[in-house]
């Protein structure tokens, strides 16, 4: 694989495959750095390199910021909208208040990585999506979403306990 500078990755549509890029960070290999403004997630490889993924992020004011830890991982996770989501848009989310089982029609897609902070679930996830058009945009309720095939790849690389830095 050739290395491309992180800033050289254009805002793609269709979304490109994950790419190894030059990436300067103090984060340790195996960590995740999310740059919401770039709509990119970087899986830190070390030696000045990272694997860059295009992501969908939260609408203004709805995104997780700061540091966290991957405390849990799930294949084909179930999903329940948060109380804030139901309160903001009851017509859209109230019908799902009891949850949606995992599978291809689930909004969390094929895999989910659960973000915790201070030992508590933040209710934010890094997950797949059944809506590929949302990747590369600021359209979610705050979670970080990838194409299903990309989140499956990331899922195999990231361990429970991995640090996540969202900027």
Largest CA-CA distance found in the chain, in angstroms, rounded: 49
Contact present, 34 and 122 (Cβ < 8 Å):
no
DSSP helix/strand/coil, 13:
coil
With cut-offs at 50, 70 and 90, classify the pLDDT of residue 62: low
Mean pLDDT of all residues in 39-67: 89
C-alpha dihedral, 128 to 129 to 132 to 134, nearest 10°: -100
Which residue reads 């830190």 in tokens? 44
138 close to 60: Cβ distance less than 8 angstroms: yes
Active site residues: 127, 143
Q: Name 34's bridge partners.
A: 41, 166
- What percentage of residues in the chain have a pLDDT greater than 70? 89
pLDDT digits (tens, 9 = 90+) for 30-43: 999 999 999 999 99
Length of the chain: 167
Q: What is the pLDDT of residues 71-105, one digit of tens each?
A: 999 999 999 988 888 998 899 989 999 999 999 88
pTM: 0.86
115-139 pLDDT, tens per residue?
Answer: 999 999 998 999 999 888 889 988 8
Looking at the structure, give the CATH architecture of the domain made up of residues 4-166.
Answer: Beta Barrel (2.40)
């Amino acid at each position: 694989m050739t290395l491309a500078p992180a800033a050289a990755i254009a805002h793609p549509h269709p979304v490109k495959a994950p790419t190894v890029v030059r990436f300067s960070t103090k984060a340790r290999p195996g960590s995740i750095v999310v740059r919401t403004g770039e709509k990119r997630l970087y899986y830190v490889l070390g030696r000045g390199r990272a694997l860059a993924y295009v992501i969908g992020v939260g609408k203004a004011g709805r995104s997780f910021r700061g540091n966290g830890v991957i405390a849990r991982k799930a294949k084909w996770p179930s999903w329940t909208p948060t109380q804030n989501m139901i309160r903001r848009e009851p017509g859209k989310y109230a019908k799902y208040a009891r949850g949606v089982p995992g599978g291809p029609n689930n909004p969390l897609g094929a895999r989910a990585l659960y973000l915790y902070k201070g030992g508590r679930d933040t209710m934010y996830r890094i997950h797949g999506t059944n809506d590929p058009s949302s990747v590369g945009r600021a359209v979610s309720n705050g979670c970080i979403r990838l194409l299903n095939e990309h989140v499956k790849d990331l899922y195999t690389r990231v361990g429970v306990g991995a640090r996540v830095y969202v900027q």
